[in-house]
Amino acid sequence: MPLSPRVPELGALELLLAVARLGSVGRAAAELGVSQPAASARIKGMERQIGVPLLERSPRGSRPTETGRVVVEWARNVVEAAQALDAGIDALRERRDARLTVVASLTVAEYLMPGWLLALHQVSPDTSVILRTANSADVASHVLAGDADLGFVEGPTTPPGLAGAVVAADRLVVVVAPSHPWARRRTPLTGAELAATPLVLREPGSGTREVLEQALAPYGGATTPRLELASSTALKAAAMTGAGPVCLSELAVTEELATRRLVAVPVDVDLARPLRAVWPAGHRPAGPARVLLGLTRKQ
């Protein structure tokens, strides 16, 4: 039975879901690697095609109308089914001699990638995977140069020249040794206090550093770091030896916080960040890369 002409194409449904999740046509367009005028035109075309208004637009952004919320739920089912079908077909086609090169930021590589690769092995056991690690700036460079089929970054936005999709959420935390004066602090650190304190940080170009600097920009930016280190392991060791307050991913310190080897300091600054899969704009991931991308969204 042929589809009704009132059923939008898959790409339009993916755009609608992104708008509903992000609250803005502009942010949805940026995530999907299209221009805002093109995204707005596509939404309006879908409203004409379906025959009902889908979004309420205001200076603060866009949100689904009452009928739009119903369409969003239907669209989510359609997109998820299409992704599952696509991943399954790719797994069948690429089962033999499949090869996948992934470059990921350190946080993603250390704390999320093992589970994703295990799921990939279960779906496509013959896929050979090469995983490289780099900071987020270098991940973007490798993907743009064609050195990797898929990249994973930690920054607040999709790097220029790339398209991407949010695959997980993370939050930065400020941690100290139990002997540090901040370990007994009950009131949150203000943005101004955090900006004025020399911290132990990741190197420039890392997603962690970029998110922190963006969060502290309204307070004049972070002061000169006490130390710059190139891995979460080194940051944790520095914090535990009393080198100073450290800012790093919450994923990296779960065990240390549970065992009180480190203490999280409350902060009055939003340090949430998305973790993204990225690929060259205009070139959707194919083969094992698409299978892996589909699996990250199911974890």
Other CB atoms within 10 A of residue 146 CB: 10
Estimate the crossing angle of helix 10-22 against helix 36-50, to 10 degrees: 110
Query: Which residue reads 């270098």 in tokens?
Result: 138
CA distance 71 to 77: 10
CA distance 23 to 20: 5
Comparing C-alpha atoms, which of 35, 64, 101, 124 is closest to residue 279? 101
Residue ranges of the chain with per-residue pLDDT less than 50: 1, 96-97
Query: How many contiguous H segments (helices) and E segments (strands) does the chain have?
Result: 12, 11
Comparing C-alpha atoms, which of 234, 226, 221 is closest to residue 269? 221
CA distance 191 to 218: 8
pLDDT tens digits, one per residue of 25-34: 999 889 888 8
pTM, two decimal places: 0.63
Q: What percent of the chain has pLDDT over 90?
A: 60
Task: Report the pLDDT value the prediction gives residue 96, as an integer from 0 to 100.
Answer: 45
Query: What domains can you pick out in the chain, each with its CATH number?
Result: 10-91 (1.10.10.10), 96-167+275-296 (3.40.190.10), 169-272 (3.40.190.290)
Residue 206, SS3 per DSSP: coil
Task: Report the pLDDT value the prediction gives residue 1, as an integer from 0 to 100.
Answer: 44
Q: Which two tokens stand for residue 159?
A: 């790097």
Task: Report the pLDDT value the prediction gives residue 90, as an integer from 0 to 100.
Answer: 66
Other CB atoms within 10 A of residue 50 CB: 16
pLDDT tens digits, one per residue of 49-91: 888 898 988 888 889 999 889 988 988 888 888 888 877 776 6
Helices (H), the chain: 10-22, 25-32, 36-50, 66-93, 106-111, 113-123, 136-144, 191-196, 207-216, 232-240, 254-258, 288-296
Q: Residues with Cβ < 8 Å from 63, sequence gap 6 or more?
A: 20, 23, 55, 56
CA distance 232 to 248: 7
Maximum alpha-carbon separation in the chain: 70
Task: Report the pLDDT value the prediction gives residue 284, as an integer from 0 to 100.
Answer: 87
Q: What are phi and psi of 5, to 5 degrees?
A: -65, -10
Q: Residues with Cβ < 8 Å from 160, sequence gap 6 or more?
A: none
